[in-house]
Structure 1
Amino acid sequence: MWVREARREPFRFTTAGHLFEMPAAGELDKKILKTVNVDNPSAADIETLLKAGLGTDWQTFDELPIPLSALGELFRQWQRHEGAPLGESPASADS
């Protein structure tokens, strides 16, 4: 099934001694596209995307002091994790 083929390894990162895990960026539900600009995300868009990706870990993450520049870099690393910008998905090898 194509959905199973598209699944990627979760994105894991550590900050302030806490290990966090998010799905590959392309695994987020398409509904998120109605609330954010993935082509040119604002700070609020990045926060919305990270909140969706972190799920139940968002509260712990949100309580940590993290500079805005670090959030931007975290977002870029999350995008790079699967090798494509958030709004794009790589084609399968069968395509």
Structure 2
Amino acid sequence: MERTLAQAAAQLGLSRPKLIALMREKGLLNDRNLPAYPHRDREYLRVRDGQWYHDQLGMQYSQSTRVKQAGIGWLAQQLAIDLPAIPANNRDVA
């Protein structure tokens, strides 16, 4: 499962701007909020390419960073963040 930076920030207990600031400070994101080292960090982060058609401007293209499932723990480690506790799943209790 992949998450947007906003979703990843919520899971880490941060706001999106705070997560981006911390990732830039550590050199994980470039000035366009894309992975600074996409090949090195490919197990944790990826670039999502998007496109849409605009009536007046034609095809529009965008790129955004996605955080992979393994990237949540990796980001917490890289940014020295304590992950919030995972709530216990009591549904399996007999």
Q: Which bracket does the TM-score occupy, shorter chain normalised?
A: under 0.3
Higher helix content, 1 or 2: 1
Larger Rg: 2
Q: What is the TM-score with the length of structure 2 in the denominator? A: 0.25
TM-score by length of 1: 0.24
